[in-house]
Amino acid sequence: MCCDWPRDNIFSGCRIGENGSEALAKALESNKTLQHLGLSGNNVGDAGAQAVAKALKSNETLQRLGLGENDIGDVGAQALAKALNSNASLQRLDLWSNEIRDEGAQAIAIALESNETLQHLYLSGNRILDAGAQALAKVLESNTTLQRVDLFSTKSAMWEHRSCPKRCKAMSRCKILNGNPFLIENGRRLQI
């Protein structure tokens, strides 16, 4: 059921578009209680992602944000990356099946160099090529909070061959489980 509010705080598949996401983002700026917001499948686009990113800069309670299947490209991903620089509550960000390319992935990777709260990042089904995947793999060397980064079904040859990326092979922490590469960091499994 669409808009299963307030039990799950999910608006997934409600077709709210840019205008609806901008209205929700405005409310999110001052909200002090919402922890989960699911906006997947709403065609929010870059403008909606930018509005949500602006809200994330001041929101202190949201822990999980679902923005999968929303036609978000590099502009929206870059705005969300800037928000990750100042947001200290978001633990999970779902950006699967969007239109994010290398520039967006690289911006997110740069933000993750200093972000200390995000634990799960889902980027599967985007248009990320090797440069974006390499930037994300590099940040795994220094980021200690990420527990899962999902790049399954991206366009990157590094990930499509289901083998450890070159950068990860040199780290000796890369392993394969059920055909999927992952890293072991401080006893935690990091999906890559």
> What integer is the mean pLDDT of 152-180?
49
The CATH homologous superfamily of the domain defined by 17-162: Ribonuclease Inhibitor (3.80.10.10)
> What integer is the mean pLDDT of 72-77?
98
What three-state secondary structure class fits 188?
Answer: strand
> What integer is the mean pLDDT of 112-132?
93
- Residue 133 CA to chain centroid, in angstroms? 13
User: Whose CA is closest to 52, among 110, 40, 107?
Assistant: 40
The 10 Å Cβ neighbour count of residue 56 is: 24
Q: What ranges in 31-187 are assigned the alpha helix state H?
A: 45-58, 74-86, 102-112, 130-139, 157-160, 166-169
pLDDT digits (tens, 9 = 90+) for 40-52: 999 999 999 999 9
Q: Is the pLDDT of residue 136 over 60?
A: yes
- Distance separating alpha carbons of residues 92 and 94, to the nearest angstrom: 7
Sequence-distant (6+) residues with CB within 8 A of 169 are: none
- Distance separating alpha carbons of residues 110 and 139, to the nearest angstrom: 8
Q: Is the pLDDT of residue 56 over 70?
A: yes
Residue 6 in tokens: 């307030």
For the chain, domain boundaries: 17-162
State residue 191's pLDDT score. 54
State residue 149's pLDDT score. 86
Average model confidence (pLDDT) across the chain: 82
- Distance separating alpha carbons of residues 68 and 29, to the nearest angstrom: 21
- Residue 49 CA to chain centroid, in angstroms? 12
Q: Which of 30-39, 149-158, 164-173 has the highest mean pLDDT?
A: 30-39
pTM confidence score:
0.80
Rounded percentage of the chain residues whose pLDDT exceeds 70: 74
Q: In this predicted model, which residue has the larger pLDDT, 143 or 164?
A: 143
